[in-house]
Amino acid sequence: MEVYCSDQNPCPIGGVGISNPGYWGMNIEQGKLYKVVYHVKSEGEFDFQLSFTGVDVINMVSNITEISEDGKWKRVETVVEANATNHYSSLQITTTNEGSYLLDQVSVMPLDTYMGHGYRKDLFQMVADLKPKFVRFPGGTYVEGDYLKNHYMWKDTIGPWEERPGHYNDIWNYWSDDGIGYLEYLQLVEDLGALPIWVFNAGFSRHEEINTKNLAPYVQDALDGIEFARGSPESKWGSVRARLGHPKPFDLRYVAIGNEDCEFSNYQGNYLKFYDAIKIAYPDMKMISNCDASSTKLNHPADLFDFHIYTNSTDLFSKSTQFDHTSRSGPKAFVSEYAVWRQDAGNGSLLAALAEAAFLIGLEKNSDVVDMVSYAPLFSNINDRKWIPDAIVFDSYQLYGTPSYWVQKLFIESSGAKLMHSKLKTASSNKLIASAISWQNSPYEKKYIRIKVVNFGAATETLYIRTRGFSKMQLFRSVKTVITSTNVMDENSFSQPTKVVPQTSSAVNVKRKIRAIVSPYSVTSFDLLVY
C-alpha cells in the first residue's frame, strides 16, 4: 500500500487505504466481539485505522505500531466490539501517514464461534442436528485437483495460518488459504461426536496419474497423515499434532484411497501399494476402494467400496433396488455421494428429495451390505453456487436447509435401528416404496416403530397399516410426519426457509390396523410408540 499523503498534500479526513468485503460481506453484529489480525512490514512509525463500512460509525480502535528498519514482519492483533449491525460489511484499513506498507494475512473473525474452534454456531448446529456418525473430508475431486500441481496436500494445511501456503483449487476455480486444514477437519468431526473418514490422494488428478513404481512419496505421505491423526504424542507426526494443541489422538478408523479413480489404468496397482503399507502399519484401519462392487465383485481386497450417483429423479427412484443383488460375501458399500441433480433438482426441490428418500429406503432394506451413506455436498454459499444441489445454503449471516436436508433428518433413527419385515401390497401404483424399522429412543427407553412411505406419484394413496406380534388390545400413540408441498418443484429460500419442511400431527390410542392417507408427491413417516 503506497500512501502519498504529506504536509503539502494532506490525506482526506479518515485517511486512505484498502477495503475488503470478505466472502460477499462480513456479518458484523452490534455488541459482538471480533478479532482483527494482520501482518505488516514497513519502516518507522505509522497509525492504522480499522473500521467497517456499511455500519454506522464503528470505530475499531487505532493501532500505532512501530516497525524497526530490519524489514521483518510484525503480527498485529486487536479485539473490537461492534456498536451497530450490518450483515454485508467491508473491513477498511486506512492511514493518514505517508509511506509504503506491506500487508498480508488480514483476518476478521468473530470470537463467538462453536467451542472457539472457528465455526459459525448456526451452521455447526445444522450439521449436529443430523446426528452424523461420520464426516468424509476434505472432499472428492478437491483431493485430486484438475492437475497434480494443485492437489490437496495435508502437510501444507497445518501449523500457524500465516505459514500455510494455500493452494489453487483448479477443479472449482477458487483459491483456498487452507485456513480449514487437516487438523481443523479432524477437530470438527470430533466436536460433532462423529468418526473421520479421510480421503487422500492416490496419485491421480483428473488428467494425470502417477505410475505405481513412482508412488512411494504418496504412500509415505498417507502414512504420515494417519500418524498425525492417531499417533501417540511421542511419535514423529503425533508430536506435531500435540504441539498444535491436541495431544490426544483422533479416532481415525477409515481412509478412502483416492476419489473416483477406478477408471485409471494405474488405480489397482496404486491402491494395493497403499493397502499393503497401511495394513502393515495399522492392521485395524478400514480401507475404502473407489471401485463399484454393487454389481460385480472387486478383484482386490477392501473393507468397503465407494458408490457415487448423481442422476435424475426417476432414475434415482428406480435405484432403490440397486443393492438388492449385491454379493453378500464381499466388502460392504459406502454410498458417499448421491443426489438428484440438474433440471429435476432446481436449486433444491421437493422432487429431488422424494427420489432421494426412495433411494434411502432401498439402502435401508439392504443395510446388511450397505454400511454407510452420506449426501452430496453439505454446504453451499448462495453467492457462489458452482454445484447444485446442496443440503444447506447460507450467506454471511443466514441459512436454510433444502428439502433434501429435511429428508436426511427424517432418516436419523434409521442408523442403528432394526429393520422389520414388511410387505407393501398395492395394485394401484408403482410409485410407492415403504419400509419399517424399530428403535428405542434413549434416554427415555421407549420403543418405536417407524413406517416410512414415499409416494412418487400424483395421486393420493390410501394404505392400511397392520402390525403383527401384538395383542388385539394393543394400543399405540401415533405421530405422523409429512414432507410435501403444493408443487413438486417447490424449494426453500432465505425468504421462505420453511416452505418445504416436515409437518407433524399426532393421535393417541391407535389400534393395530391404521388407515393411512398418503398425499401426492410426499414422504410420510408414521411413528408408533408402543405403550
The pLDDT of residue 63 = 55
> Considering 260, 356, 461, 491, which one is annotated as catalytic?
260
Hey, what amino acid is at 472?
Answer: K
Polymer length of the chain: 531
Peptide bond into 110 cis (omega under 30): no
Rounded-to-10 torsion of CA 305, 415, 182, 25: 120
* Each residue's pLDDT expressed in tens, for the chain with a length of 531 residues: 999 988 888 988 878 999 999 999 999 998 999 999 999 888 777 788 888 887 554 555 555 556 666 678 888 888 888 888 899 999 988 888 888 889 999 999 999 999 999 999 999 999 999 999 999 999 899 999 999 999 999 999 999 999 999 999 999 999 999 999 999 999 999 999 999 999 999 999 999 999 999 999 999 999 999 999 999 999 999 999 999 999 999 999 999 999 999 999 999 999 999 999 999 999 999 999 999 999 999 999 999 999 999 999 999 999 999 999 999 999 999 999 999 999 999 999 999 999 999 999 999 999 999 999 999 889 999 999 989 889 999 999 999 999 999 999 999 988 889 999 988 877 667 899 999 999 887 666 788 899 999 999 999 998 888 887 776 666 778 889 999 999 999 999 999 999 999 999 987 767 777 888 899 999 999 988 876
66 classed as catalytic: no
For 209-303, strand residue ranges (E) read: 254-257, 286-289
The total of other beta-carbon atoms located within 10 Å of residue 444's CB is: 8
Domains along the chain with CATH numbers? 16-110 (2.60.120.260), 113-290 (3.20.20.80), 419-530 (2.60.40.1180)
As a whole number of angstroms, the distance between CA 152 and CA 162 comes to 18
C-alpha cell at 191: 466436536
The pTM score is 0.93
The pLDDT of residue 178 = 95
Q: Find out whether 366 and 326 touch, Cβ atoms under 8 Å.
A: yes
The pLDDT of residue 6 = 83
